[in-house]
Amino acid sequence: MAAVVYLVVPCYNEEEVLPEASKRLIAKLEGLMEKELASKESRILFVDDGSKDKTWELIAGLHESTPYVCGLKLSRNRGHQYALLAGLTAARELCDCAISLDADLQDDIEVFDEFLKHYQDGCDIVYGVRKSRETDTRFKRGSAQLFYKFLNLMGVEVLYNHADYRLMSRRALEALSEYKEVNLFLRGIVPLIGYKSAVVYYERHERLAGKSKYPLSKMLSLAADGILSFSIKPIRIISSLGFLIAFCSIIALLYALISKLCGAAVSGWTAIVVSIWLLGGIQLLCLGVIGEYIGRIYSEVKQRPKYFIEQFLKK
C-alpha cells in the first residue's frame, strides 16, 4: 500500500524560491501518487522559520489555492535545525514517513522514488548523499570538507557529504523525539537511532533563486554544535596537552637545576618570553574550549522550549 509521505521544507526568507519550488514539488508528489509510491493523503509541509519577507503569505496562499500544501509558522526565526525539527514533529502524527529537504531544491527531488523504494523495502532511514560539490563555492566546498574531516577526527559519527536531505519513517521520527537536547545537530543524532538505513546518491544543483540563508556565522555555530554536543574529545585533548606540558616542564626544571649546579650561565630571555606566550595562548584556548562546554551545559540544563508554533495550516 502507498505510504503517507510528508515533504518537510524549512523556509527562511524564501519568497523568491517558493513559487517555483512549490510547483515542482506538487508535480513530483502527484507523480509519486500515480506510481503508488505515495498515497493521496501525502502533503508538502512548508515551515516558515520566522521569515521577514512574504514567505508566510506565499505559503498561506499556496495552502488556499493548491492541493497538498500545508504550512507551519514558527513564532520567530529559530534556525534551520529547529525549523526542521518543528516540521518533523508536526508531521510525525500524520505520516508514515517524512522527507526533509531545503526550499531552494538544491537537492535533486528525482531521487524521492529511490528513497521511497528503500522505505518500502523496510528501511527506516534513507540518507541522501551528494555525489559531488561542484555547484558549491570554493569556500563552501573547502570548509565543508574540513568540517567533516574534523568531525570524524573528533569521533562524531556523521555521513560524509550528507546534509539534512533524508527520509525518516514514523518509527524513526518517534525515536528522534526521544532526544531532548537543546543544542541540536540532527546529522549527528539520526545515525545514533540505529534502525535499518540506506544511502541514496544524488547530484546537487544550484540554488533555484536568492542567496544562501546560511552565512558564515550560522555555519560556525552549526559546526560548534556538531563537535561540542557530540564529542568530549576536545576536552580530552586539552588534558593530554596539560600532561604533556607538565612532563616537559619537569624535564626543563631538571635541566635548569643541573645547569645551575654545573655553574653554566642562564641565558634564557628568549626562551622565557616564548614559553610565556606559548603557554598563555594554550591556556586561553583550553579555557575557551572548557567555557564552550560549560555554556552548552548551561543551555541544556535550562531546557528552554525550542520553538513555538504560531499557526498550523493543515489539509
Contact residues for Mg ion (CB under 5 A)? Answer: 102, 104, 106
Report the residue number, 209 or 235, with the smaller CB distance to Mg ion: 209
Cβ atoms 206, 132 nearer than 8 A:
no
d(CA 275, CA 279): 6
- Candidate residues 15, 96, 102, 225; the one interacting with ligand UDP per rule CB under 6 A: 102
Of 242, 227, 239, 228, nearest in space to 298 by CA: 228
Please report where in the chains the cell 540532527 appears, as a residue: 186
293 touches ligand UDP (CB under 6 A): no
d(CA 44, CA 72): 11
77 touches ligand UDP (CB under 6 A): yes
183's contact among Mg ion, ligand UDP, none, with CB below 5 to 8 A by partner kind, is none
Query: Which residues in 9-38 contact ligand UDP (CB under 6 A)?
Result: 10-12, 14
Please report where in the chains the cell 541514496 appears, as a residue: 200
Please give the distance of CA 63 from its chain centroid, rounded to a whole number.
28
End-to-end CA distance of the chain: 21
Radius of gyration of the chain (CA): 25
49 touches ligand UDP (CB under 6 A): yes
103's contact among Mg ion, ligand UDP, none, with CB below 5 to 8 A by partner kind, is ligand UDP
**Contacting range for ligand UDP; rule: CB under 6 A; set: 4-12, 174-182, 246-254, 286-294:** 4-12
Neighbours of 258 (CB within 10 A): 10
Length, in residues, of the chain: 315
| Min CB(12)–ligand UDP separation in Å | 3
Pairing of strands 97-100, 43-48: unpaired
d(CA 175, CA 197): 14
Nearest residue to ligand UDP by CB is 212
- Candidate residues 28, 63, 73, 80; the one interacting with ligand UDP per rule CB under 6 A: 80
100 touches ligand UDP (CB under 6 A): no
183 touches ligand UDP (CB under 6 A): no
Q: Give me the 191-220 binding string for ligand UDP, x by CB under 6 A, dash otherwise.
A: ---------------------xxx------
188 touches ligand UDP (CB under 6 A): no
188's contact among ligand UDP, Mg ion, none, with CB below 5 to 8 A by partner kind, is none
162 touches ligand UDP (CB under 6 A): no
Return the DSSP state at 1.
-
| Min CB(163)–Mg ion separation in Å | 9
d(CA 118, CA 61): 34
10's contact among Mg ion, ligand UDP, none, with CB below 5 to 8 A by partner kind, is ligand UDP
| Min CB(125)–Mg ion separation in Å | 22
Q: In this structure, what C-alpha cell is assigned to residue 245? A: 606540558
Report the residue number, 106 or 197, with the smaller CB distance to ligand UDP: 106
d(CA 214, CA 220): 10
Q: In this structure, what C-alpha cell is assigned to residue 194? A: 540505529
Rule CB under 6 A: which residues touch ligand UDP?
10-12, 14, 49, 77, 79-80, 83, 102-104, 106, 212-214
